[in-house]
Homo-oligomer: A and B are copies of this chain.
Amino acid sequence: MSQISALQKARAAYAPKLPAALQNGAAVVVTEGAATQSVADCDKISALFPKTYGSPVLTFAAGKESNLPAINVGVILSGGQAPGGHNVIAGLFDGIKSLNADSRLFGFLKGPDGLVKDEVMELKSDFIDSYRNTGGFDMIGSGRTKLETEEQFQLAEKHCKALNISALVIIGGDDSNTNACVLAEYFKAHDSGIQVIGCPKTIDGDLKNEWIEASFGFDTACRVYSELIGNLCRDANSAKKYWHFVKLMGRSASHIALECALQTHPNAAIVSEEVAAKKQTLEEIVDKLASIVANRGNAGLNFGIILVPEGLVEFIPNIKTLIAELNDILAANAASVESLDALGKANFAAGKLSEASAKTFNALPEGIRKQLCNDRDPHGNVQVSLIETEKMLAEMVGNRLKAMKSEGSYKGKFATQTHFFGYEGRCAAPSNYDADYCYSLGFNAAALIGAGRTGYMSSVRNTTKKASEWISGGIPITMMMNIEHRHGVDKPVIRKALVELDGAPFKFFASVREDWAIKTDYVYPGPIQYFGPSEVCDLITKTLELEKK
């Protein structure tokens, strides 16, 4: 038996809090709302989901003892890790046991692949107990296989039936929940008698809407990053000699960068959605950062913190155009560039770019030019996650400041340190918020199963209040969908929640950032606390706090 840490041992005893509706068990009293519509493209979505479209929103109230028969349930972790996944499974386990003590839970291994390949294990009480309130997805593993094809659906049905599984819970992000809904529709259309329930997971925070307040893991991951950013702020303010450029995970949306900014008050934080909305060029971003550094430097403050979202370059219109041209040029000339090294490829491509893109390209540091031409995914596209945006910005800001110095508009010193925080937070043990929220989501999924529903996402909301006041229920997944054009085809997908520039979190940030830029107004959140006074343990994100104000 492996050693476990003192904290893990003590934390295992934590009993996550449940909404009042679930405190008597998962056999809840169900209130149905009116029939629902998708957020857009109702006709197309309804045509694609004839069996599951339009189901009502469900709200639960506490029920009595369950007289339901025992059921077998399968569970799948899908996609990137997020703190609290194990608690969803523990909540689901406790929930189906509350329906009938003979109910059984099966975990499909390594993500959706386990369902397709029939790799599965029964999750029993002792095993579940050893993972309560822990981080990671190592209990059953996860994977990125997408459940999309008829063949996969047939295998899924076969493997569920072999184990007498009558309900599947898929824990994943927007795409995984979309696929959960497609699978629910398939099972219903084929009268297979298998329900499908989704749970909203992603540290990126981009799976949320009126009904889903937060995707789990966002709170914990942002707290880990904010702990580190706060420590860097304190270090910067102590040593007074470095500008720290911190890249944060979050490719499609900048919720993480924004939340961390709200928690720590850095001197600058870039929000990709603003860059896209204002059609900012890379030069404009660099100019803005350089002016922040220069203003502080001219006031004798040669240090600071700048937060950069991972996906930034894809939101900068002129870089987006450049990347598209590079992808085309290198693909069209694959034979000619094959033998060239990265610099050779970059020089080759530079000669074939449009005038505007050539200008953008040549202004980039050599290292980035090489990265844009060298690292390609299997489809021949640049791998944006490998671009060291934080180093690129540090170098370009440095160059801009040199020019400003020679012009006489800057008289400070500029030395940098760069960081990327991502993997450090995805598997942290869940905060009380995520531990409670995840356990509730899982337990609530059991309630949806008990209520015989399919194509629903487990929904627990009103989470800015204490847990007993949380509202639990189910939201039909089709309700969150629209049609998007992806990889050349129209697809029904759950609409991704980007940072809204007229939303309260961004508006608050925009109202104070000029102050944070010039002042040294850092906040040091420190590490997640699991014990002690409620005001340090039972926190909610600043994002949620502002959204629900």
Contacts and interface: CB of A to CB of B under 8 A. Distances in A.
Interface in A194-245: 224, 227-228, 230-232, 234-235, 237-240, 242, 244
A314 to B, nearest CB: 21
B529 A136 contact: no
Interface in A101-142: 110, 134-138, 141-142
Interface stretch (A174-182, A278-286, A332-340, A419-427): A419-427
A528 interface: yes
A5 B525 contact: yes
A33 interface: no
A526 B265 CA distance: 25
Contacts of A224: 231, 527
A414 interface: no
A411 to B, nearest CB: 19
Nearest to A140: B238
Contacts of A423: 231-232, 235, 242, 244, 417, 419
A365 to B, nearest CB: 13
A508 interface: no
Contacts of A238: 81, 136-138, 141-142, 427
Tally of this chain's copies: 2
A11 B526 contact: yes
A535 B6 contact: yes
23 contacts: A2-B522, A4-B523, A5-B230, A6-B539, A7-B536, A8-B524, A135-B231, A135-B524, A138-B234, A141-B238, A224-B231, A227-B527, A231-B423, A231-B425, A231-B426, A244-B423, A417-B423, A419-B423, A429-B524, A429-B526, A527-B529, A529-B532, A530-B532
Contact of A532 (B232, B237, B532): B532
Interface string A425-448: 111110000000000000000000
Contact of A237 (B7, B138, B526, B537): B138
Contacts of A240: 110, 141
Interface in A511-549: 521-533, 535-537, 539
Contact of A5 (B11, B141, B142, B524): B524
A316 to B, nearest CB: 25
A3 interface: yes
A356 interface: no
A10 interface: yes
Contact of A530 (B110, B424, B529): B529
Interface in A1-22: 2-11
Contacts of A529: 7, 527, 529-532
B137 A8 contact: no
Nearest to A139: B238
A363 B265 CA distance: 45
Contacts of A265: 3
Nearest to A525: B5
Contacts of A526: 5, 7-8, 11, 428-429, 530
A428 B535 CA distance: 20
Nearest to A244: B423
Interface in A393-419: 417, 419
Contacts of A231: 135, 224, 423-428
A90 B269 CA distance: 34
Nearest to A135: B234
Contacts of A531: 529, 531-533, 536-537
